[in-house]
Structure 1
Amino acid sequence: MTNGFDYSAAAELFPSRGYRGSVTVGYRRFGNAAEAVRFAIEDMPSTLLKGAMLEVNEQRFNGGEILELYQAESYPLGRPEAAL
């Protein structure tokens, strides 16, 4: 799934709704997909990842796929020690 993924492409992140429909983190646009993936995994509340959607080059990735992109060998950004 991560083969050929363009981490440098612009990306849009749509977090899921929080508890009782409140949104604690809203829609965000990123200059590159790597930053969007990093934000989704490292900064966004984990409860919002399950229903989140990342759109890159007209392809959509769900929360589990976002995690796979973060864990991929081809992920270009560093990860905190705790995330490894």
Structure 2
Amino acid sequence: MEKMTLENRFYNPSELARMLYDEKITGLDYVTHQSEEQTRDFKEYCARRAVPENEESSGNYLNHLLREEERSHTEGLD
């Protein structure tokens, strides 16, 4: 399936999640079109690890966010 080309703007996270699920966009699009803050965080994540801003690193970044969220939930239960 051919991927969509997103406009140079930020999208609603639910809309992006649907497009990602439907394989209309890449993980990199998902990460860099949610908000200015998330885009900046992703760029900093890549810079700290000296990795390119690409599909692989966007997947690693999303996994990192999930681990952080799980950690915060677990700490909240203690």
Q: Could you tell me the TM-score, scaled by structure 1's length?
A: 0.30
**Relative CO higher for 1 or 2, CA cutoff 8 Å, sep ≥ 6?**
1
Larger radius of gyration: 2
Q: Which has the higher strand share?
A: 1
Greater share of residues in helix: 2
TM-score, normalised to structure 2, is: 0.31
